[in-house]
Structure 1
Amino acid sequence: MALYDSNQHRSILTNRERQIFQLLVEDHSTKEISIQLSISEKTVRNHISNTIQKLGVSGRSQAIVELLRLGELSLN
């Protein structure tokens, strides 16, 4: 089963996951993201871990590359 089907144009990320990874792309730390989104650092790390697991990659950097490739993130 494909994680992303371009024919359906459905995102594999939740809105919160997208917010977090967009902030990571903009070089924000986990702590900065937690403050900006008013959530705990643990919650930020959980969202990152969930996304890494969804994508089947081994870390944040690989997740970012894959999300850029899929068009889920942009380098504004």
Structure 2
Amino acid sequence: MIDESKHRSLLTVRERQIFNLLIEDQTTKDIAGRLGISEKTVRNHISNTIQKLGVSGRAQAIIELLRLGELKLS
């Protein structure tokens, strides 16, 4: 039997896009322009992810996502 929980991502597709751009050192403004969304929307996605993870900021969120295997450094 396959354990589907191992295949289910913690992040939405958009959150993953945003955090992958954050680890490429892109600014909120750069990310918004690249994805065609507002800076406020980018900040909301980041904030939602921080809350999901129970961490206190972007840097901690990135570290936790790397630790969990949700993000990879290239």
Question: What corresponds to 2:36 in structure 1?
Answer: 38
Question: What is the CA deviation profile of residues 56-75 of structure 1, one whole-angstrom value per residue up to 9, with x for unaligned ones?
Answer: 00000000000000110011
In structure 1, runs of 5+ residues without a counterpart are none
Q: CA RMSD in A?
A: 1.5
Flag the 1:34–1:70 CA change in 2: closer, same or farther, 3 A. Answer: same
Structure 2 runs not aligned, ≥5 long: none
Equivalence for 2:21: 23
1:9 corresponds in structure 2 to 7
Q: CA deviation at 1:9?
A: 1.9
Larger Rg: 2
Q: Which residue of 1 aligns with 2:65?
A: 67
Q: 1:16 to 1:7 in 2, by over 3 A?
A: closer
| Aligned-partner Cα distance in 2 for 1:57–1:33 | 22
TM-score using structure 2 length:
0.92
d(CA) in 2 for partners of 1:50, 1:24: 15
2:50 to 40, 49, 52: 52
TM-score with structure 1 setting the length: 0.90
